[in-house]
Amino acid sequence: MKRFTIGAGAAALLAGAVWAQGTAPAAPAETTTYVQAGALLDRPGQRARGASTIVVRGGKIVEVRDGFSGGESGSRVVDLRDRYVLPGLIDMHVHLFSTGRPLEQRLQEPFQEKEDDAYEGLRNAEKTLMAGFTTVRDLGSDGPAITSLRDVILAGEHPGPTVVPAARMVSVSGGHGDVNGYNRTLTGAYAAERDNVCDGPDDCRRAVRRQVSAGAEVIKFAASGGVGSNVAGGLGRQMFDDEMKAIVDTARLFGRKVAAHAHGADGVKAALRAGVDTIEHGSYVDEEAIRLFKQGDAYFVPTMLAFQSVVEQAKRGERPPASTAKALEVEKVAFRNIGNAIRSGVRVAFGTDSGVGQHGINAREFKLMVDAGMAPTEAIKSATVNAADAIGRSASIGTIEPGKDADIIAVSGDPIADVTRLQNVDFVMRRGAVHKLGGRKVLAE
């Protein structure tokens, strides 16, 4: 049986805590936890509450009360009376197996085993959770590897966020999600174990079904070229209408939502017309694309942190020539175009593309959103209420309300007054298990 051990500083914050003997942190089913919050943004987008108590049992929120209460024998109290409490954050776009160090990754790739990737994924999942992100979509990883990581986390065996996996990104031959830039021997070897590349609608149906069979809970496809791929194909559209339609229709048959990687405005618009749920990146989004966003239900996931990372990496010479050229090209326009879309009021869901840059700094995206013209309260809503809706999990995450998962974080001070406060999350609870307290990791033995 597991029990908590915490540092002295963290223990001091647990005023009146009674940690039930022999209770596993991942499943404190019988224990009632009272999270006492100095301020509580229970429903981002609406006004924050003052002093409140969140009652948690069996990994769920059972009640939210005004004022401070709780502490009867057998219960535990988490004292966040001097903290600002809000729902666990959601990142719509990460790659947990990518290091964020592209040069090193390229040098090591021929010598790495899949098992090495697995340990990288465990480390990145933990960094992400400790940064306050309790749910992520992984938009491009080996299917069996990412579902295995998802399940280890779900079982409470390793700290990490709830993972919604896409398996591999569906792509056309020579496209952003194909194997590219290697010599012919390595290209053949890598291509042999990939099932995400398709040409023509029938083939694209097959590719979607293969990702579902590999564990995809959401389908991602490359509607346009990408900055990170080592192929000089630009950032324009890469897929025909019938291919995109086949992907979306097939995903719907399996009840999956669809995310489209799209930079060029032609790719963004074609994907929106095909009926995708989210547009990732959107660096060349124009007036017509903004109009299409507003006509439909799709969310825009800008991933500005990734743009910042790829440009820095390109300038340091860490990216291959084809990728460097695209990074320097996109830098000229992306922030302006994304800012236009944000200020025009398209629906935005928070995403960082972490793995392109380093993991665990996801919350830096909030500052970029605010700098691009988004109100802080909207930025926080994009990472909670909106992201939960865009994933299709509004019933379980995104707000702090009875019946929802007890995914709860805290910062010191009001993040609406200063969104950079979200870069220092000092309390993290996921599904009722406390993973970080007083800024320190809570260890499970």
Residues at the site binding Zn ion, with contacts judged by CB under 5 A: 353
Cβ nearer to Zn ion, comparing 117 with 353: 353
Tokens for 220, please give them.
């991602």
Q: Find the Cα–Cα–Cα–Cα dihedral 61, 66, 67, 71, rounded to 10°.
A: -30
Cβ nearer to Zn ion, comparing 310 with 409: 310
Cβ nearer to Zn ion, comparing 169 with 425: 169
Exposed / middle / buried, residue 60 (Cβ in 10 Å: 0-12, 13-18, 19+):
middle
**Minimum Å distance from CB 354 to Zn ion?**
9
**Minimum Å distance from CB 93 to Zn ion?**
6
Report the alpha-carbon distance of residue 267 to residue 282 in Å, rounded.
9
Tokens for 143, please give them.
């299917």
**Pairing state between β 89-94 and 133-138:** parallel
Q: Which residues have CB under 8 Å from 175's CB, separation 6+?
A: 197, 222, 225, 229, 233, 238, 239
Report the alpha-carbon distance of residue 202 to residue 8 in Å, rounded.
60
Cβ nearer to Zn ion, comparing 53 with 124: 124
Cβ nearer to Zn ion, comparing 150 with 435: 150
**Minimum Å distance from CB 139 to Zn ion?**
5
**Minimum Å distance from CB 243 to Zn ion?**
20
**Minimum Å distance from CB 69 to Zn ion?**
44
Cβ nearer to Zn ion, comparing 36 with 98: 98
Exposed / middle / buried, residue 57 (Cβ in 10 Å: 0-12, 13-18, 19+):
middle
**Minimum Å distance from CB 220 to Zn ion?**
8
**Minimum Å distance from CB 299 to Zn ion?**
15
Which of 244, 229, 117, 278 is closest to 170 using CA atoms?
244
Tokens for 256, please give them.
């999956």
**Minimum Å distance from CB 324 to Zn ion?**
18
**Do residues 187 and 224 lie in contact, with contact meaning Cβ atoms separated by under 8 Å?**
no
Other residues' Cβ atoms within 10 Å of the Cβ of residue 67 = 9
Cβ nearer to Zn ion, comparing 100 with 432: 100
Report the alpha-carbon distance of residue 124 to residue 410 in Å, rounded.
21
Element (H, E) at 397: none
Tokens for 176, please give them.
């952003």
**Pairing state between β 218-222 and 257-262:** parallel
Q: Which 3 state secondary structure label does DSSP give 165?
A: strand
**Minimum Å distance from CB 165 to Zn ion?**
13
Report the alpha-carbon distance of residue 25 to residue 433 in Å, rounded.
5
Report the alpha-carbon distance of residue 100 to residue 89 in Å, rounded.
21
**Minimum Å distance from CB 221 to Zn ion?**
12
Q: Which 3 state secondary structure label does DSSP give 66?
A: strand
**Do residues 76 and 399 lie in contact, with contact meaning Cβ atoms separated by under 8 Å?**
no
Cβ nearer to Zn ion, comparing 243 with 353: 353
Q: Among all residues, whose Cβ is closest to Zn ion?
A: 353
Cβ nearer to Zn ion, comparing 83 with 257: 257
Report the alpha-carbon distance of residue 73 to residue 83 in Å, rounded.
24
**Minimum Å distance from CB 61 to Zn ion?**
31
Cβ nearer to Zn ion, comparing 43 with 93: 93
**Do residues 161 and 430 lie in contact, with contact meaning Cβ atoms separated by under 8 Å?**
yes
